[in-house]
Structure 1
Amino acid sequence: MFPEKPMHVRIAVPDDAAAIASCLAELGYDTAEELVLERLRDFSTAANDKVFVAEDAHGRVMGVASAHRLPLFHVSGYLVRITALAVSKAAQRAGLGRLLVKAVEAWAWGAGARRIEVTSGDHRPAAHAFYQAVGYAIDERRFVKNSPVQRDEGR
């Protein structure tokens, strides 16, 4: 029997849109494939936005992480925010989430980030445990005000 190809992470490409939308759907987001494709195209030339995908041993996209670099105002350097991290339920606990976080961190530290932050809803205790297990600590509070104008979330 041949040894399996190791799991790995790479930068997302437009052909990954359907698989990414599927990963996001498993996390409960009704993100249209067309919106994912649009974002991938927008981010492909942006220095401050990256989307990584994790592939299983068979080359199937099983996870996604998006990250965005923002300049800090009060000190030199940048903040990187992870805005999405989703791994297909079929691939959870296989190390793909850790690989995705490591890829974001490598990019962030190399791009001058002073810190990386991620938010996670109160209804996701397993995600909280994961983030703490990979070295993230609960810090500060986030205050949010949503737009009074209703928008289609999938577009």
Structure 2
Amino acid sequence: MQIRRAVPADSPAVAPLLGQLGYPTTAADLDARFARVAGSPYDAAWVAVDGPSGAVAGFAAGHVRSPFELDAPVAELTALVVDETQRGTGAGRALVATVEDWAIAHGCVRITVSSAFRREGAHAFYERLGYEQRAKKFDKSLPAS
């Protein structure tokens, strides 16, 4: 499994992965998201590529922010998904390690990830990687402007 930066040409392969995660999207929507963060030093995305087949097996994205309550930046793992047929191959672990290395290179002192209550398998995965539940997150949808 190889990890490389995701590019807009990966959109057709990444879109079904996000659908598996419960976020149905299209390649065109992903192209627009890639364009939105293009050139941002605070956003990055990666794909896990299966060596023999060259197929995209997983996707991860990260974001760096500078919270007022800390003197250093914090990273967020904003997306992580591995194709259902590739889970257990180490792709997820490799993607998380890549995001963590990127966060460290950006001076981050912490990395966070949100995971829905129903994703108990994901919770166990993150705990095996040393993540701890430290807070309860609240969301509110806002009206479109």
Instruction: With the length of structure 1 as denominator, give the TM-score of the two structures.
Output: 0.88
Matched residue, 1:116? 111
Instruction: Give the number of the structure whose alpha-carbon radius of gyration is greater.
Output: 1
Cα-to-partner distance string for 1:57-79 (whole Å, 9 max, x where unaligned): 22211100111000121221111
Residues 1:139 and 2:131 are matched in the alignment: no
1:4 aligned partner: none
Aligned residue for 1:114, secondary structure, equals coil
Asked if residue 22 in structure 1 is aligned to residue 8 in structure 2, the reply is: no
1:64 and 2:59 aligned: yes
**Identity of aligned pairs, percent?**
36
1:31-70 pair list within 5 angstroms: 31-57=25-51, 58-70=53-65
CA distance in 1, matches of 2:6, 2:43: 11
Q: 1:82 aligns with which of 77, 97, 100?
A: 77
Instruction: Report how far residue 44 of structure 1 moved.
Output: 3.0
Contact 2:16 2:24 in 1 (8 A): no
Mean alpha-carbon deviation: is it higher for 134-143 or for 38-47?
Answer: 38-47
Name the structure 1 match of 2:68. 73
Gaps of 5+ in 1: 1-6
Q: Residues of 2 paired with 1:100 and 1:41: CA distance?
A: 22
Secondary structure at 2:33 match in 1: helix
CA RMSD of aligned residues (A): 1.4
Is there any run of 5+ residues in structure 2 with no aligned partner, and where?
none
Deviations 1:74-109 (A, max 9, x none): 221111111110110011100000000000000001
Q: Distance in 2 between matches of 1:12 and 1:70?
A: 20
Task: Please give the TM-score of this superposition, normalised by the length of structure 2.
Answer: 0.94
Question: Does 2:4 align with 1:13?
Answer: no
For the 8 Å contact 1:12–1:40, the answer to whether it is kept is no
How many residues are aligned here?
144
